[in-house]
Amino acid sequence: MAAFYDNSPGMVDDLTPPPAAPAAPAAPPAAATPPASNTADMSAPPAPPPADAAEVKARGSLVETLAAQADAMPHGSEVVVHLGRAAEAAGLAGDDAAAVASEWAGTFKAHGIAANDAVQLVDIGASIHRDGPPDEATEVEWLREVDERLRREFGSAEAADRAADLARAWVQRDARLLAWLEATRLGSHPRVVLALAKAAHTAHKAGKWQPK
């Protein structure tokens, strides 16, 4: 039921979009999802992006809109290469592997994820695709580590709380990514939360984005 980190003690905030919300993301590696959801596997990327041309176009338009709010340096080839290798390791090939790599590269761009963070997230997604979502005990440990990582990154418990709030609002811009984070439980993973918190903080500080 958890979708993204909640800085309330021992809790995870369920940010799942309402029933009518769009299907989960369609690229990065993650635990298997029903075919209709076209959820992408973050590292060992999931099924290729939806074949429907209108949906592909709409997703591309959303990615560009979200990316305009981010404040991050463009990625070099290392992220796409890493995604491609992860897709192939997940059993995809040719156009399917390229489509998944492209989908996730776009998602990283949309959310302003730094290249070094993106490479790490690909590996994390691949492990979820391979081994499945974490058990409850693992998720509890992740949440404890999130608090500590945010405090170290932002300097104080108060600043960490503000960063967590920004990260939640940042993710809510993209219902598809949000659904994928829920399906994989990676919304509780410390590296995922930190990467999104840093991107949200940077965009907010640069004046390019304000949470609603």
Residue 79 lies in a domain: yes
Q: Over the chain, what HEC string results? A: CCCEECCCCCCEECCCCCCCCCCCCCCCCCCCCCHHHCCCCCCCCCCCCCCCHHHHHHHHHHHHHHHCCCCCCCCCHHHHHHHHHHHHHCCCCHHHHHHHHHHHHHHHHHCCCCHHHHHHHHHHHHHHHHHCCCCHHHHHHHHHHHHHHHHHHHCCHHHHHHHHHHHHHHHCCCHHHHHHHHHHCHHHCHHHHHHHHHHHHHHHHCCCCCCC
The structural domain count of the chain equals 1
Are 130 and 44 spatial neighbours (Cβ–Cβ below 8 Å)? yes
Residue 80 lies in a domain: yes
Give the predicted TM-score (pTM) of the model.
Answer: 0.77
Q: Summarize pLDDT for 8-19 with one digit per residue, the tens.
A: 444 333 333 334
Residue 210 lies in a domain: no
pLDDT band at 55 (very low <50, low <70, confident <90, very high): confident
The per-residue pLDDT for 53 is 79
Residue 119 lies in a domain: yes
Residue 187 lies in a domain: yes
- Distances from the Cα of 208 to the Cαs of 40, 71, 100, in angstroms? 27, 7, 28
Q: Summarize pLDDT for 102-161 with one digit per residue, the tens.
A: 999 999 999 999 999 999 999 999 999 899 999 999 999 999 999 999 999 999 999 999
Whole-angstrom distance, CA of residue 167 vs CA of residue 199 = 8
Owning domain of residue 94: 4-12+25-205
User: Per-residue pLDDT for 32 more than 80?
Assistant: no
Q: At what angle do helices 136-154 and 190-205 cross, to 10 degrees?
A: 30
Residue 189 lies in a domain: yes
